[in-house]
Amino acid sequence: MAVTWHELTPDDLPAVSALAGRCLATDGGLPLLTDLGFLRARFTAGETLAASDGANLVAAAATRPALDRALALVDPGWRGRGLGSRLLDWSLARASVVETEGLTDGAAALFGSRGLACGFAEDVMAFDLAATPLPEIGPPAVTPWDPALADRFFATYEASFRDRPGFPGWSKEDWVEDFDPRWTLLASTVDGDVGFITGEDGWIVQVGVVPAARGSGLGAALVTEALRRMRAHGLRAAGLTVNANNPHAAALYRRLGFTVTGRRATFTAAHPPGTAPAP
């Protein structure tokens, strides 16, 4: 069956969401992928190219010029027919960084065939709050998030992560989000603030422990306490992402009962946009 190639309009976002849902069901990855707000930021900021089979949107790509990035989605039922190759070459003519929200072996091979190198990867992990027992870890002494405590939370974040490779050096204003106070917590001892966990609705955004308190089980206690609170509020699942270059954290989450559901990644071209090698 032939496809029709065309540009996307904002009215196509529900169709992009449906396509993203089919990709997510097969590839795993970030549940937010089907969210219209998430997709609007990625599919209305620059140029677009899409393919339809007459009934459904089966492939779509878009650029974000301000970030020199592109993202493409191909319906699992339409893979292996050259759609991904066309979208990737179109993307590389316009951006140096290509994102994938559900990295597969086929996608990795395609990126490699174009000379792209993986610059960042993180695993998406999930915890089944309805069926998985919570670890038997006592709750730490914590204080819930309050904007008035932003300075203390941010200072603990900086102390926890400034020694990590790639530390972004954000300002407090860049780092602070609309955290959910139900499971955004600051852990303290008589020696001061020693760890934190931030979260949104059903999502653990970040967990950090200052160097002096590492190895004490505080990270596991913070995650368990957040999960306990999520379950108490009726949530059935929790999720998080963990950098592929942070195996210690990934091992901790697996021990607590999280499972990997997919991988997000970015791949970088070795050439400027518009000079992609011929396929």
pLDDT at 47: 98
| Residue that has been written with the tokens 């140096």 in this structure | 96
pTM, two decimals, is 0.88
Is the confidence at residue 193, as pLDDT, over 50? yes
pLDDT digits (tens, 9 = 90+) for 194-224: 999 999 989 999 999 999 999 999 999 999 9
User: What pLDDT band is residue 167 in, cutting at 50, 70 and 90?
Assistant: confident
Specify whether the CB–CB gap between 153 and 196 falls below 8 A.
Answer: yes
pLDDT digits (tens, 9 = 90+) for 98-144: 999 999 999 999 999 999 999 999 999 999 999 999 999 999 999 99
Q: Is 52 exposed, middle or buried (0-12, 13-18, 19+ CB in 10 A)?
A: middle
**Nearest Cα to Cα of residue 25 among 33, 16, 13:** 33
| Residue that has been written with the tokens 């969210």 in this structure | 35
DSSP notation for 120-178:
EEEEEEEEETTTSPPP--PPP-EEE--GGGHHHHHHHHHHHHTTSTT-----HHHH---
**Stretch 249-262: mean pLDDT, rounded?**
95
pLDDT at 164: 83
CATH 3.10.20.30 fits 4-120, yes or no: no
pLDDT at 279: 40
DSSP tag of 78 = G
pLDDT at 238: 97
Is the confidence at residue 35, as pLDDT, over 70? yes
Percent of the chain scored above 70 by pLDDT?
Answer: 96
What radius of gyration do the chain's Cα atoms show? 21
Is the confidence at residue 38, as pLDDT, over 60? yes
CB atoms near residue 18 (< 10 Å): 14
In degrees, rounded to 5, the angle at the alpha carbon of residue 164 between the alpha carbons of residues 218 and 243 is: 80
- CB half-sphere exposure, 179, CA atoms < 13 A: 27
Is the confidence at residue 33, as pLDDT, over 90? yes
pLDDT at 177: 92
pLDDT at 165: 79
User: What pLDDT band is residue 271 in, cutting at 50, 70 and 90?
Assistant: low
Is the confidence at residue 169, as pLDDT, over 50? yes
**Stretch 3-27: mean pLDDT, rounded?**
97
pLDDT at 274: 56
Query: Could you tell me which CATH class the domain 131-235 is placed in?
Result: alpha beta
Is the confidence at residue 157, as pLDDT, over 70? yes
Is the confidence at residue 277, as pLDDT, over 50? no
Task: Calculate the alpha carbon distances from 71 to 4, 46, 87, 164 in Å.
Answer: 19, 11, 9, 27
Start and end residues for every CATH 3.40.630.30 domain found in the chain: 4-120, 131-235
Query: Cα separation of 109 and 90, whole Å?
Result: 17
